[in-house]
Amino acid sequence: MNFEDLLTEQRNRHSTHIDQADSNEMVDIINREDQRVGRSVQKQLPQVAEAINLATKRFDQGGRLIYIGAGTSGRLGVLDATELRPTYGLEESQTFGIIAGGPETMFHTIEGVEDSGELAEENLKDVSVGEKDIVIGIAASGATNYTVSALAYAKKLGALTIALACVPESPLEKNADVAICPIVGPEVITGATLMKAGTAQKMVLNMLSSGIMIRSGKVYQNLMINVTPTNDKTQRRAKRIIAAATQTSTLAAERALARADNNVPLAILLIETKGTIAEAKKLLAQSGGHVSDAVKLSLQ
């Protein structure tokens, strides 16, 4: 595969005059191209849903959500993993991103690292990737050797492999259990895949990781309930979440949170079922930690 032949490297006929456009026309060109991104992602929704279902099974069994990539793609993976932890109360060991060249490449470009398949294998060996894990390989071109090698190695070890690329039938896709490929077309600025391709990748990663968290019981209604109240700010947040989920007062939420020993899902269940601590804990255990399912069980 010649890199120059990739769709992500082609010239965009709609923006060949962008250097001569005034600012109003320039942003209009960029915005019109950005509107193609949502449609390209929409076409991949079945693949995203499949990835969520398969990944949740492994995540619930103790598997880790591992992102890997180079350059912009690698940075987007690190960002998604980093944001997941405080949002859903995850440990650093449960989800993390690996970027070619290490943490320094989050801020500086290191030449050559994206071409090294050996480096990718070393990076995955360092974190002891296994068959419970979920490895998401991200590469706009679908041809970055570092990422392709990483996914091939992870697949050989039995991990669930998910490819996220912006070209069809790429080398990355061949090593994936599930391939998600929003085809965004040529960039406004030729080869600048931080633009449409980067936006598409971010949209997919948002859906993918959020979906896994929802399926894992870390959301009730549309509220993130896995917050851990460790200081005044998070205590207030936890009370607001409980009050909103149960349509009760902040005072009632505070009392339930105290009874539940700062466990937000348990506090919600205490209010929703009007039961005892022991009953609420039993319901949560029976439902695998899913509050909605636990509420339904209490009504049977």
Q: Any idea which residues carry the catalytic annotation?
A: 83, 114
Please say whether the beta carbons of 216 and 293 come within 8 A.
no
Alpha carbon 172 to its chain centroid, in Å, reads 18
User: Which tokens belong to 290?
Assistant: 């899913």
Count of CB atoms situated within 10 Å of the CB of 105: 18
CA nearest neighbour of 178 among 162, 164, 165? 162
In this structure, are strands 219-220 and 65-69 parallel, antiparallel, or unpaired? unpaired
Beta carbons of 258 and 244 less than 8 angstroms apart: no
**Do 193 and 8 touch, CB atoms closer than 8 A?**
yes
SS3 133: coil
Here the tokens at position 24 are 């109003």
Q: Which residue carries 């706009």 as its tokens? A: 140
